[in-house]
A and B are shown apart, each in its own frame.
Chain A
Amino acid sequence: MFSERDFEHYLAKKYMRTEIMPHAFCPGCGLGIIERMILMAFEELGEEEWKRTAFVSGIGCSGWVPLYFRRDAAHTLHGRALAFATALKLSKPDLNVIVVMGDGDSMGIGGNHLIHAARRNVDLTAIIATNMLYSLTGGQMSPTTPQGARTNTTPYGNIEPNFDLMKLLEAAGATYLARWTTYHFVQAKNSIKKAIKHKGFAAIEIVFQCPTYAGRYILGKPDPRDMMDWFKEVSVPLGKAKTMSPEELQGKIVVGEFLHRTDRPEYTEQVYKIIEKAQKKGGR
């Protein structure tokens, strides 16, 4: 039936450019798992949803994720993926636009674009892959590096506190928020599925393992298996986290579905309403 030489995974055969695989990620990198989450979400959503999807990605390791899919993908400027995606969504409103960004890409360089896309409530799905440092350029400190961690640019420990993306985006006005790790595979897949169907700005933060830099420098665990065990130990579900004190939550990853609201108006619809209004009577 199958021989090992011309083996292709059934998801890869259906959705991916197998001619350029194996992909460029390090052994044990969690971005491959994020790819599989996206593909399995589309496998359950159906062919039609997949055919009207476009991907946008920024710069960084996570920028490589959509390039392996057999779909249109734009590899844009550093931090400007959301600006590009907003324009794409406005020009073709019935397109599913999925933005895959890293933590440095979305919160470091493109922080302004992130909060303003959330404020406008554009109908995008932002998948923010967090590995706690800039891994493509060699392990520099990023906005999500935990306090006290040792990286290449902070050899005596990081003195800056890190971002809580969920609180930031909730204040900015996003309408769907979830945070998972690669350990929570099925939950993250279901969240992606929900976010694609959701109308409005949806952000899913997926904390994934980077054994090469985050594993070696921040955690001292160069094996991806140890990092997965660490995710299991450290992650706290949202319901349990509400009963815990801030001291207990120090150094933990709170996972869960943070927000799902439908009361805010969507940006693309409003733009097209304004255009219609302006074309009717000279704007009056």
Chain B
Amino acid sequence: MIKLTTPISPEEVKKLKVGDQVSISGVIYTARDAAHKRMVEAHSKGEKLPVDLKGQIIYYVGPCPAKPGKVVGAAGPTTSGRMDKYAPTTLDEFGLIGMIGKGQRSPEVVEAIKRNGAVYFVGVGGAGALLATKIKKVECMAYEDLGCEAIYRFEVEDLPVIVGIDSEGNNAYDIALKK
């Protein structure tokens, strides 16, 4: 298990290889369908983003509401493919270095990952209750009207993920099927 603390450097990303099990601590940001659409639309109009994503990691998640005394409800990864339309912009233009989600990415996203020396992590989809215990602090940063689809700042401790696509474009899903 490789332990990483955010923000992660391009050198650290380069060392990550497909299939590596990684434990992430530090600050990450959430965004899914609606927040991506808004950010990319705002950017195309020349507007400033509500959060500086340079060198940051986005976690594709829409958490459940927090119960009293908790910081967040269940919070596992959602299907990344729905963000494929927007992901190259987040990497090329927002300077994002990592994404956490689940499922396959499009060839365009894989190319953008390689071009930017970024990384795609996959979490265990369906383990939302367990993954929520790794989230220690939550703050809404933007688009509060989107509810669970707003952009949140998560402080995480030892969030378990696997390198799904490394900076050279090697893909864990393709490798698994070839075996």
A-B complex is real: no
Residues of A in contact with B (beta carbons under 8 Å apart): none
Residues of B that sit less than 8 Å from A by CB? none
